[in-house]
Amino acid sequence: MDDSNGSNTPVHQDSRFTGKVAVVTGAAGGFGRAIARRLAREGAAVALADIDSSKGKRTTAQLAKRGSRVLFETVDVSQGDDLRRLMERTCGAFGGIDILVNNAGYCHRAKPLWELSEADYDRIFEVNVKSVYLGAVHGVPRLLERGGGVIVNTASIGAVRPRPRLTAYNATKGAVVTLTRGLASELAPHGIRVNAVNPVAADTDFMKGPSGGRPLGEKGREVLEATIPLGRLAEPEDVAAAVAYLASDDAAFLTGVCLDVDGGRSIG
């Protein structure tokens, strides 16, 4: 099977997430696939969820082939019944949930806000914002059953430094930041930490959204890289490493943190 990372690294049984169970939404590609791979490589059992069944099943099969404990569920994260089913199946297969990564996202085509259709506006808020609410509704009770846990949300550097023509998308990610910090305050007394990552752009299929279905291309890459002090786009593995850190006991005293994984764009 295809493996875009070209890695056959075995599961490390003595790693940070041995004995832990993680749920990762939007896990069929891009950041989500890298996050699922990283958590599985470090010992977690992982439930991968995505609306794209074929890619999600392929990624899950690759991880299973390496010896990871994994399952896949087809999920529309804007639908409460889908999130409920995902949590139920994960608990049935692995005994509970310790880590919830709300990563699934959607981006409209880049255009002025006043030209964005109402349908696109509604969809982007359903996928990017309502999904975090539904993740809490159906995931928090499962984390409480384990005596605590961790939620990591994927926001965006666009929440901090918004780009023109992506105003609605940036607004959804600003909402994710606020949800993250509010939930962190609410859940801290219950032993649940809530953090987020704010990635800069990466050359993944997600970028076809703002470009109207076209790959980023060399010119587009150069334009974006010129805004990033470290001189390159994010790699999915950069985001996966940050999520793994925030989800681990290495970050045991961090909650309400929205970590900029942006090569310095927020300060450039």
Asked if residue 133 lies in contact with residue 94, where contact means CB atoms within 8 angstroms, the answer is no
Q: For this structure, is 169 an active site residue?
A: yes
Amino acid at 92: G
Q: Locate tokens 């970590």: which residue?
A: 259
Asked if residue 47 lies in contact with residue 63, where contact means CB atoms within 8 angstroms, the answer is no
Burial of 121 (0-12, 13-18, 19+ CB in 10 A): middle
Q: Which residues contact 10 (CB under 8 A, 6 or more apart)?
A: 66, 67
Catalytic-labelled residue, pool 106, 121, 133, 169? 169
- Determine the Cα–Cα distance for residues 169 and 108; give it in Å rounded to an integer: 7
Instruction: Give strand pairing partners of 101.
Output: 24, 152
Asked if residue 243 lies in contact with residue 35, where contact means CB atoms within 8 angstroms, the answer is yes
- Pick from 93, 65, 68, 90: which is nearest to 12 by CA? 68
- Determine the Cα–Cα distance for residues 105 and 91; give it in Å rounded to an integer: 24
- Determine the Cα–Cα distance for residues 3 and 66; give it in Å rounded to an integer: 12
- Catalytic residue IDs: 169
